Amino acid sequence: MPLTGPISTGGTFFCPHCGALYSVTHSRLPRSESNVAKCVVCRQTMDKWDSTKVPTYKLIHRPEDA
């Protein structure tokens, strides 16, 4: 049986390029369609992964200068 579903509650994450604040949670999925997360504010790549532990990012706060 494949591993699926939530595995942790997560935390917060700042985009290293523009400083946008995200909440991040992780899920274990059998296979991810994408292995990169891009910032919705600056469109830069924030994170890359190569595993079944897939992060999900939700924008909480835009940086002041965005």
* Structural domain includes residue 64: no
- Domain containing 11 equals 6-52
* Structural domain includes residue 62: no
Per-residue pLDDT tens over the stretch 14-65: 999 999 999 999 888 766 567 899 999 999 999 998 888 888 999 999 998 6
Q: How many domains does the chain have?
A: 1
Q: What per-residue confidence (pLDDT) applies to 54?
A: 85
* Structural domain includes residue 66: no
* Structural domain includes residue 36: yes
Residue 3 has pLDDT above 80, yes or no: no
Question: pTM of the prediction?
Answer: 0.73
Q: Higher-confidence residue: 7 or 50?
A: 50
Question: DSSP for the chain?
Answer: ----SEEEEEEEEE-TTT--EEEEEEEE-S--S--EEE-TTT--EEEE--SSEEEEEEEEE--TT-
* Structural domain includes residue 46: yes
* Structural domain includes residue 20: yes
